Amino acid sequence: MDILKLSLAELKSALDSKKVTALEVVNLYLDRIEKHDKDIKAFLHVAADSARAEAKRYDDMRAKGEMVPPCAGIPIALKDLIVTKDMPTTCASLMLKDYYSAFDAKIVEELKEAGYIILGKLNMDQFAMGSSGETSYFQKTKNPWDLTKVPGGSSSGSAAAVAAHLVPVAIGSDTGGSIRQPAGYCGVVGLKPTYGRVSRRGAVAYSSSLDQLGPIAKTMEDAAFLMDTLSQHDELDPTSCAQVPDSFHKNLNANIKGLRLGLPKNYLTDDVDPEVKSAVLAAVEVYKNLGAEIVEIEMPHADVGISVYQMIANAEVSSNLAKFDGIEFGYRADTNDLNKIYSQTRGEALGVEVKKRIILGTYILQIDQYEEFYVRAMKIRSLIRQDYDNAFKKCDLIIGPTSSTPAFDFGGKSRTPMEMYLNDLYTVSLNLNGSCGVSIPCGFTKVGMPIGLQLQGDMYAEQTLFNAAHAYQNATDWHKREIL
């Protein structure tokens, strides 16, 4: 049995039927982390001892015939902005180096209760700001398909770790594409659930009206399996969705005859890399053969999504990150002067990209700027939402690329910030709308880099989204290509 090739459901039954022990599974992944992560650098913290102890505890319980939680022994790892009591949570920033939370995030509680074993915390762009992983204070995660290329961001470690089989599944966060874009660059599945579907309690906030946690997995089937654990109502998160779905995994249905896929007219412009374009068009053909109907739609405000996102996200950042001032959390500058504590701490411990966004956000929230920038951005956000509402009258899902290019070289786009921001063109609008979307692998470039296909759905349309992505993965084998 090749454990690395098992789906999460298969791994669960192998564990339940004692064909494999939880300790064997955990050791297999820990060995791979030890062997490969010195090159890939996906992990910021590996919790080897506690993972082995948990695995052993479940094995003993199974041996004694005791009841174990449903997913007892399945390894998982977390983007390092999800707070944990017994592991540091750094947000990849000097500001939170060695910071331990007093409580576990709601999803950590859910995962532990379901029996998942947390192998560690994963690298990311600092405070989730970036598209390449390069803004991490600690290290640059590499793309496992080509170590000279970025893995995407900001959930860089989550995507790279799953792609390199260092962990079977991971959690990321998506404020403007940070689950989907790195998943696309690393050839794995990345799901941004509907806003409120997964509790955000204990996820360090970047932009609270856009942030969403979700899975990065090898297949849509695995992502659906994990979503069954994560889609719980959280009374302590006021934005948590009260409606709890039955089971996404059980209800997966690859028969998508009659599904209407909207192809936006203005999406596949000349700015899209030709190899990405042809992979997306080939995926459209696969869908036609599966019985889907392709309808042409318009997303008239797609091109202003980035500007609106920048205004809203940065405004929220300036407020959300104000708490990192040297008093309560993490780093404190070496001074006893109160005023200096604030400025020096923030000056020393926040990265350049983070400071840039805080400054911009603070500027646009000033009284004489507020109407001009923030209020106007909120109005255009409504227009973008209208575009989605109109589109979903004509189609069930929107199909297109995840990003306009495959993974780029380190240092490449970070030299021109505008180019880096434009990288999010296809992903940010979905967060402004609040609905769900996924990136699935749909091909490789001539030099062997993965290409991501994005499917976007309506609010709470996860099941439709999962079925469509699952049907595509049943019909193709891009997700089966091996790296290491």
- Active site annotation includes 173: no
Asked if residue 217 lies in contact with residue 162, where contact means CB atoms within 8 angstroms, the answer is yes
Q: Name 63's Cβ contacts closer than 8 Å, sequence gap at least 6.
A: none
Sheet containing 450-456: give its strands across: 43-46, 117-122, 75-79, 169-173, 213-217, 189-192, 437-444, 450-456, 397-401, 260-264, 293-297
Q: Which of 80, 110, 134, 174 binds ligand GLN (CB under 6 A)?
A: 174
**Minimum distance between the CB of residue 373 and ligand GLN, rounded to whole angstroms?**
17
Asked if residue 191 lies in contact with residue 73, where contact means CB atoms within 8 angstroms, the answer is no
- Nearer CB in complex with ligand GLN: 402/464: 402
**Minimum distance between the CB of residue 177 and ligand GLN, rounded to whole angstroms?**
5
- Nearer CB in complex with ligand GLN: 206/408: 206
Count of residues in contact with ligand GLN, rule CB under 6 A: 12
- Active site annotation includes 178: yes
Q: Does 424 bind ligand GLN (CB under 6 A)?
A: yes
Choose, from 79, 142, 149, 413, the residue flagged as catalytic: 79
- Active site annotation includes 414: no
Among all chains, which residue has been given the structure tokens 């500027």?
363
DSSP codes of every residue in 249-260:
TTT-----TT-E
- Nearer CB in complex with ligand GLN: 129/188: 129
Touching ligand GLN, residues 107-136 (CB under 6 A): 128-131
Q: Considering only CA atoms, which of 416, 355, 424 is closest in space to residue 176?
A: 424
Using the contact rule CB under 6 A, the part of the chain among 75-83, 174-182, 366-374, 445-453 near ligand GLN is 174-182
Amino acid at site 22: A
Give φ, ψ of 452 to 5 degrees. Answer: -105, 140
- Dihedral sign (CA 409, 125, 220, 481): positive
Q: Does 151 bind ligand GLN (CB under 6 A)?
A: no
Q: Which of 73, 177, 262, 401 binds ligand GLN (CB under 6 A)?
A: 177
- How many Å apart are CA 122 and CA 77, to the nearest integer? 7
- How many Å apart are CA 473 and CA 254, to the nearest integer? 9
Q: Name 20's Cβ contacts closer than 8 Å, sequence gap at least 6.
A: 1, 3, 14
Q: Does 178 bind ligand GLN (CB under 6 A)?
A: yes
Q: Does 402 bind ligand GLN (CB under 6 A)?
A: no
- Dihedral sign (CA 79, 82, 87, 88): positive
Using the contact rule CB under 6 A, the part of the chain among 36-44, 62-70, 173-181, 197-205 near ligand GLN is 173-181
Q: Does 206 bind ligand GLN (CB under 6 A)?
A: yes
Q: Is the peptide bond before 247 cis (omega within 30 degrees of 0)?
A: no
**Minimum distance between the CB of residue 421 and ligand GLN, rounded to whole angstroms?**
7
Using the contact rule CB under 6 A, the part of the chain among 138-146, 176-184, 239-247, 407-415 near ligand GLN is 176-184
Residue nearest ligand GLN, CB atom distance: 178
Q: Does 158 bind ligand GLN (CB under 6 A)?
A: no
- Nearer CB in complex with ligand GLN: 115/196: 196
**Minimum distance between the CB of residue 182 and ligand GLN, rounded to whole angstroms?**
9
Q: Does 437 bind ligand GLN (CB under 6 A)?
A: no
**Minimum distance between the CB of residue 356 and ligand GLN, rounded to whole angstroms?**
11
Q: Name 356's Cβ contacts closer than 8 Å, sequence gap at least 6.
A: none
Question: For binding to ligand GLN (CB under 6 A), which residues are involved?
Answer: 128-131, 154, 174-178, 206, 424
Active-site residue set: 79, 154, 178
